[in-house]
Structure 1
Amino acid sequence: MSATANLSNQLLIAAIQSTASDLHFSPYHQKVDIHFRIHGKRIFHSAISTQVYAKLLSYYKFSSGMDIGEIKKPQNGSLSFRNKEHLFSLRLSTLPIQSNESLAIRILPQTDSLSLDKLFLFPSQYQRIKRWLGHQSGMILFTGPTGSGKTTTLYALIQALIKENSYQAITLEDPIEKDMENIIQVQVNERAGITYDAGLKAALRHDPDLIMVGEIRDKQTAHFAFHAAHTGHLVLSSLHARDALGTILRLKEMGIQTIDLEQTLISIASQQLVPISAAAHLPRRAAILELLDGDLLHYTIHHHTIPPQSYFNSFDHLRRKAYAFGYLPDEIFS
């Protein structure tokens, strides 16, 4: 194994052992800093010389299918990495900066398969989400910032559905983050002509009970996702938004009409991950969720606010509840 490949292995193993979700390579004039994203926080790991980084960057570009000679345009690539019995998918992204390129690597575990009851801190929220899955058509949205576990939750929901019912499930993703058994996964690739619209038309010919749209990133994808829900199928998707109310405001900014929200949107689960007190040697995280459905959802759609005297549990309320039950350590709550 070459010195560059060996360095790559060392960094990836260190990141995985630290439960990092991302690696960041930040070039400067004389050095390149390496940071890990661990439980949402960016932690400095080490620094390497620009000469060593140049070899490492070329290695990653070649291994992930990027153009080694292209340094003026952003590029994306992917590759697999196995650490003992665990398999990981790596999503690589370069960004040109002055006379160099920065590199970010997202680490996606492929062997972890958490059940829904282990994802959420409060069992009552899990039970409420399970009831949403009884709908035959409409849209369920999971929202939150990057790294809040939206995709993990979506995958767990789909797995739960197909275990309990003989569902035909199809996902449209850009990119596919995890290979799933018993699910048809479509990789959206606009350059190859596989757009969301083309993927949906093809998916509908397979008579799906459930469609997952990986992420709503822009107006076009938002309208596509709601159109998919209008076809009489249950649609699950995700969106970047700070909280449940912000999700509705973002959808309206994307041009989704009030009548479409009212007729199509079943529910919103805005998600945050919090580190909880546990006996394990590493801190564990679980999700708390702001949940909107039913009459409260319809009120919020029309009035752009959540009524003060309602059963809605905000993130602040949920963190206080978690602290009172002893789930959150003092330093996190403070």
Structure 2
Amino acid sequence: MNPTSTLSKRLLQAAIEHHATDLHFYPFPKQTDIYFRIHGKRKLFKQIKTEQYQLLLTFYKFTSGMDIGESRKPQNGTLAHYEKSNLYSLRLSTLPVNQRESLAVRILPQTENVALENLFLFPAQFKKLKKWISKRAGLILLTGPTGSGKTTTMYALLQAILQEESYQTITLEDPIEKEIDDILQVQVNEKAGITYQTGLRAALRHDPDILMIGEIRDKYTAQFAFEAALTGHLVLSTLHAKDTLGTIHRLQEMGIEQIFLEQTLIAIASIQLIPLTINKKEQRAAVLELLDETQLKDALKGVDIRKSIPFQSFYHLRKKAFAYGFISEETFHHS
């Protein structure tokens, strides 16, 4: 086995043992810093010589199907990695910086099934999410910052529903983050001519009950998600936004007209991960700001729903978590 392949194996093994979600490589002229993202925080893991990093970068670019000769443009690739019989999907992306390229690697476990109840601090919120999925048409959005568990929640939610009901479920993803049995997953690949539009047309011919669109990234995918929901199907998707009201503002900024927001949007769930103080172990759980149909209609009319009784903001949820002793006072004030 060559030294570069051995170095790669050691780094990935260490990242997985530390429960890291990402690896970041920062190249400088002589040394390259390697960071792990663990529980949302970046920690310096080690430094290697930049010559070693260049070999490692070439190795990753080659094995993940990137263009080795291209260093001036950002590139993306995917790799499979096995660690103690567990499968991980690695999502790699390069970024040109100061005549060199930095590399980020997202680690996505494929064989671990997360029970949805274990993701949330308040299980009643999970029950609400499941109720929303019983709707037959419209759009449900899961929102939050990067690394807050939007996609994990969406996958876990779909799996929980499919255990109870036999729904024909089709996903359109770029890229597919986790392969799941009983779901038809379509990889969007613009180069190969599989756009969201062509993927949707093909998916609709398969008579789906539920459509999942990986992520709303821009005006194009936003319009697309709303059009898909207007076909009379239930559509699930994710979006980067701070909270539920921020989600509405982002959709309006993306040019979605008020009438489509009113007619198509069923509910919004915004996710925030908070560090727990249980058993002195470092672990996190999700709290959800939930905006259902009634509150959504009020919010779209300009009513300040933060003053309405059923709506629980992130501040209210953290206050509740602090009162129950789940989180520290510092977390309550600074999350």
TM-score (norm 1): 0.97
Change (3 A) 1:304 1:7: farther
Change (3 A) 1:188 1:283: same
Are 1:321 and 2:320 an aligned pair?
A: yes
* Cα deviation digits, residues 72-123 of structure 1 (max 9, x gap): 1111111011110211000000011122100000000001111221111101
Map of 2:188 onto structure 1: 188
Distance 1:79 1:43 in 2: 23
- Mapping of 1:43-122 within 5 angstroms? 43-122=43-122
Distance 2:11 2:264 in 1: 45
Distance 1:198 1:287 in 2: 35
Unpaired runs of 5+ residues, structure 1, are none
Offset, 1:305: 4.0
* Cα deviation digits, residues 295-317 of structure 1 (max 9, x gap): 21111112174342432111111
- Range that drifts further, 1-10 or 105-114: 1-10
Change (3 A) 1:331 1:8: farther
Change (3 A) 1:138 1:50: same
TM-score (norm 2): 0.96
The one-letter amino acid paired with 1:322 is A
Unpaired runs of 5+ residues, structure 2, are none
Offset, 1:63: 1.2
Any conservation in 1 of the 2:306–2:312 contact (CA below 8 Å)? no
Map of 1:130 onto structure 2: 130
Offset, 1:330: 4.6
Question: Which secondary structure does the structure 2 equivalent of 1:303 belong to?
Answer: coil
Question: Which secondary structure does the structure 2 equivalent of 1:118 belong to?
Answer: helix
Question: Which secondary structure does the structure 2 equivalent of 1:319 belong to?
Answer: helix
Any conservation in 2 of the 1:258–1:302 contact (CA below 8 Å)? no
Map of 1:297 onto structure 2: 296
Distance 1:2 1:316 in 2: 52
Distance 1:312 1:73 in 2: 45
Offset, 1:5: 1.1
* Cα deviation digits, residues 8-44 of structure 1 (max 9, x gap): 1111111111111100001112211111111111111
The one-letter amino acid paired with 2:254 is M
Map of 2:287 onto structure 1: 288
Offset, 1:323: 1.5
The one-letter amino acid paired with 1:100 is R
Distance 1:38 1:279 in 2: 18
The one-letter amino acid paired with 1:163 is Q
- Range that drifts further, 104-113 or 315-324: 315-324
Any conservation in 2 of the 1:245–1:305 contact (CA below 8 Å)? no
Question: Which secondary structure does the structure 1 equivalent of 2:166 belong to?
Answer: coil
Any conservation in 1 of the 2:130–2:161 contact (CA below 8 Å)? no
Offset, 1:333: 3.3
Distance 2:192 2:308 in 1: 51
Distance 1:204 1:66 in 2: 32
Offset, 1:166: 1.1
- Mapping of 1:1-334 within 5 angstroms? 1-279=1-279, 282-303=281-302, 305-334=304-333
Number of aligned positions between the proteins: 333
Distance 2:290 2:137 in 1: 19
Distance 2:96 2:54 in 1: 13
Pairwise CA RMSD of aligned residues?
A: 1.3
Residue identity over aligned pairs, in percent, reads 59
Any conservation in 2 of the 1:211–1:235 contact (CA below 8 Å)? yes
The one-letter amino acid paired with 2:147 is G
Any conservation in 2 of the 1:88–1:109 contact (CA below 8 Å)? yes
The one-letter amino acid paired with 1:290 is E
Offset, 1:62: 1.1
Any conservation in 2 of the 1:80–1:88 contact (CA below 8 Å)? yes
Any conservation in 2 of the 1:245–1:304 contact (CA below 8 Å)? no
Distance 2:84 2:305 in 1: 49
* Cα deviation digits, residues 98-149 of structure 1 (max 9, x gap): 2210000000000111122111110111111111111011111000000000
Question: Which secondary structure does the structure 1 equivalent of 2:80 belong to?
Answer: strand
Distance 1:309 1:163 in 2: 35
Any conservation in 2 of the 1:211–1:234 contact (CA below 8 Å)? yes
Any conservation in 1 of the 2:230–2:264 contact (CA below 8 Å)? yes
